[in-house]
């Protein structure tokens, strides 16, 4: 899921998602970007996993999910927790 490192007034958080079979594009989507499904494209790593580092406010709680290029949503298997969303599924949660 994530690692974090405090830098002054922001926390660098690296989101990592394991490889997803058939996935050619993956986006990090959450309340930190207004749930914009294309604002944060993730980088594919050599092993097929995906990652992206963001600078976020420390001491906050964020909800997020991953969305493939073809619109399939995934939760983070290593999230700090999960909360129900209005669509009948759950969002991943991370605490900075």
Output helix, strand, coil percentages for the chain, rounded to the nearest 5: 5, 50, 45
2-95 belongs to which homologous superfamily?
Immunoglobulins (2.60.40.10)
The set of residues, in sequence order, having a beta carbon less than 8 Å from that of 6 and lying 6+ positions away, is: 12, 58
Give the pLDDT mean for 1-15: 71
Structure tokens, 53: 């580092």
Q: Domain limits of the chain?
A: 2-95
**Average pLDDT taken over every residue of the chain:** 92
pLDDT reading at 1 higher than 60: no
Give the pLDDT mean for 54-67: 95
């Amino acid at each position: 899921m994530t690692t974090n490192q405090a830098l002054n007034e922001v926390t660098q958080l690296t989101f990592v998602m394991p490889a997803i079979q058939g996935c050619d594009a993956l986006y990090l989507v959450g309340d930190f970007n207004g749930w914009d499904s294309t604002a944060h494209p993730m980088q594919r790593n050599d092993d097929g996993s995906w990652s992206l580092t963001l600078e976020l406010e420390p001491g906050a709680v964020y909800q997020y999910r991953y969305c493939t290029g073809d619109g399939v949503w995934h939760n983070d298997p290593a999230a700090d927790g999960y909360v129900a969303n209005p669509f009948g599924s759950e969002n991943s949660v991370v605490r900075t």
